[in-house]
Structure 1
Amino acid sequence: MKIKILHKKIPAYLLLSMILMLAFVLIEPLRTFAQDATGAKTGTINDVTAAKAGAPTAAEVGDAVGHNKIAINMMWTLICGFLVMFMQAGFAMVETGFTQKKNVAHTMGMNFLVYAIGMFGFWVCGFAFMFGGALNAATLGGAPGVIPHEYTVTLFGHSFGVIGSVGFFLNSKVYDVGVFTLFLFQMVFMDTTATIPTGSMAERWSFKSFLIFGLFISMFVYPIYGNWVWGGGWLSQLGVNFGLGHGMVDFAGSSVVHLVGGVAALAGAIIIGPRIGKFNADGTANTIPGHNIPMALAGTFILALGWFGFNPGSTLAGGDFRISIVAVNTMMAGTAGTLAALAVLYIQKKKPDPGMLANGMLAGLVAITAPCAFVNSISSVIIGAIAGCLVVLTIHLMDNVFKIDDPVGAFAVHGANGAWGVLSLGLFADGSYGDGWNGVAGPVKGLFYGDASQFGAQCIGTLTCMVYTFVVMYIFFKISNKITPIRVKADDEVAGLDVPEMGVLGYVD
């Protein structure tokens, strides 16, 4: 028999031989790789480092599996850190778009340089203060050989961790791949906090004063409160010491990152005062429109993308199946915040202001950051929707009641909704995740699921954050103003800060 192919006759036996050869080429490598795990000839087994090649012991296989698991966790955490770093571009675009054309180089310059200034300060001592007592993150390898230390005080018969003391300058004592991974991830979180006040104080903040601020918040303010919640400090131990749920719980930073930054932004806005022309003699507020709304909206989308590193990345474990829950909750809360802000605007018989819609999305993302791993999707939508309403209300109160000028709504987005996010965890945590969190057995449950004490811990943590941050930052800005004026000259503010402060125009036309 012969088969005709492309007008040529090929003997059947030759065609069959070709098929068998092709099958061998394609299938044999797969068969060899996928053999029974008991065989010594599989590709997987041969890849395991063993004293006897091709015949690893159970312990050697276990070591290889553990190595790969830690490697996956480290790679996941680093990639998420890279996403969070990119959020800096989003913040820069949002804030610059919401401010006036004459100040674009100044606003962009602050958002750019806070990355370098904040990183340097966090490297010097901020990381040590925050995580010096809790460097042995098991998911990242446990940092073998690193000896953490936390300064504590004893009250009511219990030890209260207050500040870490290991890891200054990432010195040789913490020269470990797990520690360095944790540093990068936490550094970009810190930078989010540091950049928030650049929005509330935009268009009148002296650049020299800003530089001092960048060092102060990255070296002391953010790390100390962060230690109390994430570094094994006293707020995290409210459950172990006093039976208040699992202690203060904040999965990805509604309080540690956003509330700290938002309250610092509020203190700065109060001290620096409103922009010239913001308020009339009778106290009524004027709208000072941003110069580039498309830029601000594009920046919002960048931030929304970065949040997928922010929240899911806080698992510090690429093998944690909860990642998908966290990611979807994050997305849905941002969506709900946007739609809720739109609904409020329509109820107020206003136009759907794109800037307010952007703040609605960011408010929802801020609020879900603390509870994202502990709630279901319905709760995430409720949390985000309340955040969208809250941001519109807070901006109205800031302008028309408290007379505080916040050009980009930094406190409304990050402060008010950072607080709401932490409290919402104490209400909506459904007991599906968090077994053993902060050393307390059982999953995390909120008030609506039977644990009122968890809500109590969240209230204590929120109040502590607000009082601590506001007092410290208020005093700092007062003292800083004595060192170098916090506010630019009035003539420069009116003309624009690009040339007087930065030496260049943002837009040459």
Structure 2
Amino acid sequence: MEAIALMDNLWVIIAFALVLLMQGGFILLEAGSTRMKNAGHIAGKTIFTVAIASLVFWAVGYGFIYGEGNAFIGLSNFFYGDFSFEGEGLAGSVDFIFQLAFAAIALTIAFGGFAERAKLSAYVIFAVLFSALIYPVVAHWVWGGGWLAGLGKQDFAGSTVVHLTGAMAALAATIVLKPRIGKFNADGTSNDLAGHNQVYTALGVLVLWVGWFGFNGGSTFGVDGAFFGYVALTTQLAAAAGAIAAMLIVSAMTGRNDIPTMLNGALAGLVAITASTAFVAPWAAVIIGLIGGLIVHFAMVMFDKAKIDDPIFALSVHGVAGVWGTLSTGFFATPALAEMNGGQAGLFYGGGLSQLGVQLTGVTVSGLYAFAVAFIILKVMDKVMSGGIRVSEEEELLGLDMSEHGSYGYPENMAQPEPAKTEKPSA
């Protein structure tokens, strides 16, 4: 095995580990952003559904993305078991495991729309169907040689493929499940069902931020030329700009230095740069992150006014910022980087509207497909499952830790103490 090839494979395995570790970030982010009575459920279902997604991806997901087929879907390489290596590039198993981690992230994003009100059985069934019928199709269109790849769509690490796909499935879930008890009043105003631990939320964002260097940097698939360092640079700048912009705009609009909005701004900057990280100059990465941080605040307000209950802000962070990130390459892609990584230069570099049109087409069709299929799946599940996909009112008020698992994530804080036992006085 040649030394450079060995390093390439090692780097991608390290990147896989970083992306898998992002699940820990999502556990902290989602648990911290919701109420204590659901924390154990959130942590447990994340691990369980990642396990489900892994097996489904092995069985059919990878084949639907990268198998030989047509412009719509791949139709080979099911139950993947290849170890192909010829001294250059990646071993087949290394590429597979890296791609698996992306599929699991998309599913976890989708589950943001289920938070605090869906049955565990709904998570299980949807995990199978999303991992087989939704994510692989969009991924094939863009990354597997499908029709959007043929048009030259630019999505380096997944603003559309991963983040928008997951967010649109989350939107379908919020609509089918309806808002949590107590979220909205009869007059349309909303109540803040505050998360129980902002420290967890902040730590979750930091874990995700670190994992993103595997997410974006690993998508270089190698170390030759050290281009992963450039990708890391644009990723870091966009995240920083997003956090600052979100804090400034929420302070200006509300008079409060709101921590959750700032944290979502950092994530929005990361989501936005994910598509364009390998296509844009550092100054453009700052602009992309700034705009991501600004729009995430307005998106959060917009969805709240529309009475869409999104506890984890998946629609704002991964959906709206994912759309912006995808379109941004159509504005900012430099000629040299576009030539190196695929597609055409952006509008601001004399590329005209061509690449922007491709980006708009890709993000529109991919988003509509993910939403429509997820909505149909969830509506059918809600009809055929006994009692539907939402827990009962009594179970929701009790908390999913107890109603779905029989124990609290914080037993010392949540469990009712037993009455003290005293001995009867002797006669």
TM-score in terms of structure 1 length: 0.78
Which one of 346, 358, 370 corresponds to residue 446 of structure 1? 346
Tell me what 1:374 maps to.
Answer: 279
Aligned with 1:237: secondary structure? Answer: helix
Aligned with 1:116: secondary structure? Answer: helix
- Find the aligned partners of 1:213 and 1:318 in 2 and give their Cα distance: 37
Amino acid at match of 2:301: H
Tell me what 2:336 maps to.
Answer: 432
| Residue 300 of structure 2 is aligned to residue 395 of structure 1 | yes
Amino acid at match of 2:339: D
- Find the aligned partners of 2:308 and 2:153 in 1 and give their Cα distance: 30
| Contact 1:300 1:358 (C-alpha < 8 Å) held by counterparts | yes
| Contact 2:242 2:294 (C-alpha < 8 Å) held by counterparts | yes
Tell me what 1:422 maps to.
Answer: 326
Tell me what 1:350 maps to.
Answer: 255
- Find the aligned partners of 1:374 and 1:219 in 2 and give their Cα distance: 30
Aligned with 1:355: secondary structure? Answer: helix
Aligned with 2:72: secondary structure? Answer: strand
- Find the aligned partners of 2:340 and 2:217 in 1 and give their Cα distance: 19
| Residue 193 of structure 2 is aligned to residue 280 of structure 1 | no
- Find the aligned partners of 1:268 and 1:234 in 2 and give their Cα distance: 28
Tell me what 2:94 maps to.
Answer: 181
Tell me what 1:3 maps to.
Answer: none
- Find the aligned partners of 1:298 and 1:164 in 2 and give their Cα distance: 38
Tell me what 2:241 maps to.
Answer: 336
Which one of 367, 391, 406 corresponds to residue 503 of structure 1? 406
Where relative contact order (Cα < 8 A, 6+ residues apart) is larger, the structure is 2
Offset at 1:282?
A: 0.3
Aligned with 2:337: secondary structure? Answer: coil
Aligned with 1:435: secondary structure? Answer: helix
Tell me what 1:405 maps to.
Answer: 309
- Find the aligned partners of 2:112 and 2:148 in 1 and give their Cα distance: 29
Offset at 1:350?
A: 2.6
When the two chains are superposed, the root-mean-square deviation of aligned CA atoms in Å is 1.2
| Contact 2:142 2:155 (C-alpha < 8 Å) held by counterparts | yes
| Residue 77 of structure 2 is aligned to residue 162 of structure 1 | no
Tell me what 1:462 maps to.
Answer: 363
Aligned with 1:445: secondary structure? Answer: coil
Tell me what 2:107 maps to.
Answer: 194
Aligned with 1:432: secondary structure? Answer: helix
The ranges of structure 1 where at least 4 consecutive aligned residues each deviate by more than 6 angstroms after the TM superposition are none
- Find the aligned partners of 2:340 and 2:19 in 1 and give their Cα distance: 27
The farther-off stretch of 176-185 and 120-129 is 176-185
Which one of 57, 72, 77 corresponds to residue 122 of structure 1? 57
- Find the aligned partners of 2:72 and 2:36 in 1 and give their Cα distance: 44
The superposition leaves residues 401-448 of structure 1 with CA deviations (integer Å, 9 ceiling, x where unpaired) of x1100011011000111111000011100122242655x7xxx41111
- Find the aligned partners of 2:190 and 2:341 in 1 and give their Cα distance: 46
Unpaired runs of 5+ in structure 1?
1-63, 133-148, 153-160, 239-246
| Contact 1:250 1:370 (C-alpha < 8 Å) held by counterparts | yes
Tell me what 2:88 maps to.
Answer: none
The superposition leaves residues 235-269 of structure 1 with CA deviations (integer Å, 9 ceiling, x where unpaired) of 0101xxxxxxxx11100000000000011111111
Judged with a 3 Å threshold, the aligned counterparts in structure 2 of structure 1 residues 307 and 324 are, in CA distance, closer, same or farther, namely: same
- Find the aligned partners of 2:235 and 2:285 in 1 and give their Cα distance: 8
| Residue 18 of structure 2 is aligned to residue 80 of structure 1 | no
The superposition leaves residues 295-316 of structure 1 with CA deviations (integer Å, 9 ceiling, x where unpaired) of 1100100000000000011010
Tell me what 1:232 maps to.
Answer: 145
Judged with a 3 Å threshold, the aligned counterparts in structure 2 of structure 1 residues 79 and 89 are, in CA distance, closer, same or farther, namely: same
Offset at 1:348?
A: 1.0
- Find the aligned partners of 1:429 and 1:436 in 2 and give their Cα distance: 11
Which one of 91, 108, 131 corresponds to residue 218 of structure 1? 131
Amino acid at match of 1:164: G
| Contact 2:237 2:289 (C-alpha < 8 Å) held by counterparts | yes
Amino acid at match of 1:86: L
Offset at 1:366?
A: 0.2
| Contact 1:394 1:412 (C-alpha < 8 Å) held by counterparts | yes
Offset at 1:486?
A: 1.1
| Contact 1:111 1:195 (C-alpha < 8 Å) held by counterparts | yes
- Find the aligned partners of 1:376 and 1:224 in 2 and give their Cα distance: 31
- Find the aligned partners of 1:195 and 1:269 in 2 and give their Cα distance: 14
Amino acid at match of 1:361: A
The superposition leaves residues 248-294 of structure 1 with CA deviations (integer Å, 9 ceiling, x where unpaired) of 11000000000000111111111100000000010101100000110
| Contact 1:110 1:198 (C-alpha < 8 Å) held by counterparts | no
Aligned with 1:274: secondary structure? Answer: coil
Offset at 1:111?
A: 1.5
Offset at 1:345?
A: 1.2
Amino acid at match of 1:85: L
- Find the aligned partners of 2:376 and 2:93 in 1 and give their Cα distance: 33
Amino acid at match of 1:233: G
| Contact 2:251 2:258 (C-alpha < 8 Å) held by counterparts | no
| Contact 1:363 1:384 (C-alpha < 8 Å) held by counterparts | yes
Higher helix share: 2
TM-score in terms of structure 2 length: 0.92
Summarize the alignment of residues 137-156 of structure 1 with structure 2, pairs less than 5 Å apart.
149-150=68-69, 152=70
Judged with a 3 Å threshold, the aligned counterparts in structure 2 of structure 1 residues 320 and 163 are, in CA distance, closer, same or farther, namely: farther
The superposition leaves residues 120-168 of structure 1 with CA deviations (integer Å, 9 ceiling, x where unpaired) of 1101100000011xxxxxxxxxxxxxxxx22x2xxxxxxxx11112211
Q: Determine what percentage of the aligned residue pairs are the same residue.
A: 41
- Find the aligned partners of 1:399 and 1:434 in 2 and give their Cα distance: 38
The superposition leaves residues 47-92 of structure 1 with CA deviations (integer Å, 9 ceiling, x where unpaired) of xxxxxxxxxxxxxxxxx6xx22222111111110110000000001
The superposition leaves residues 194-219 of structure 1 with CA deviations (integer Å, 9 ceiling, x where unpaired) of 00122222000111011001111111
Higher strand share: 1
Unpaired runs of 5+ in structure 2?
86-90, 413-427
Q: Give the length in aligned residue pairs.
A: 404
